[in-house]
């Protein structure tokens, strides 16, 4: 059964969300609300940065796994990259 407090997003979906946040923050509607504008821009930049960091970490784990001589450790690394929801998926958990 799916957890109602989580959702899965692809990297492309997270990037699209960041783009929408940035667009809202820089729209004419946000001009009168500088605090909300700043929050939207910060959230957008944070999503982009975190997504890039996650991709870099996954690439590094892939590189390490490819050069690992211990077959069991290598398989564990590749399995960790796949995760329960597949490669390239970001799981977002919402707290109650």
Angle at 41 between CA 36 and CA 43, to 5 degrees: 90
pLDDT digits (tens, 9 = 90+) for 16-72: 999 999 999 988 887 788 888 899 999 999 999 999 988 888 888 888 888 888 888
Does residue 19 lie in a domain region? Answer: yes
Range of the domain at 85: 6-93
Please tell me the predicted confidence (pLDDT) of residue 17: 94
Query: Which three-class secondary structure state does DSSP give residue 31?
Result: coil
Query: Which three-class secondary structure state does DSSP give residue 8?
Result: strand
Does residue 87 lie in a domain region? Answer: yes
- What confidence category does residue 85 fall into, taking pLDDT thresholds of 50, 70 and 90? low
Which tokens in the block code for residue 17? Answer: 């969300």
Q: Where are the alpha helices (DSSP H) in the chain?
A: 11-25, 34-67, 71-82
Does residue 1 lie in a domain region? Answer: no
Does residue 17 lie in a domain region? Answer: yes
- Residue 12 CB neighbours (<10 A): 10
Does residue 75 lie in a domain region? Answer: yes
Residue 8 dihedral angles phi and psi, to the nearest 5°: -105, 135
- pTM of model > 0.75: no
Does residue 54 lie in a domain region? Answer: yes
Domain count, the chain: 1
Which tokens in the block code for residue 69? Answer: 């001589």
């Amino acid at each position: 059964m799916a957890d109602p407090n989580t959702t899965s997003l692809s990297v492309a979906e997270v990037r699209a969300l960041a783009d929408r946040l940035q667009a809202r923050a820089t729209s004419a509607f946000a001009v009168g609300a500088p605090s909300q504008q700043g929050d939207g821009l910060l959230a957008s930049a944070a999503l982009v940065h975190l997504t890039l960091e996650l991709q870099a970490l996954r690439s590094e784990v892939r590189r390490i796994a490819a050069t690992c001589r211990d077959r069991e450790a290598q398989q564990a690394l590749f399995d960790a990259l796949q995760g329960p929801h597949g490669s390239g998926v970001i799981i977002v958990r919402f707290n109650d």
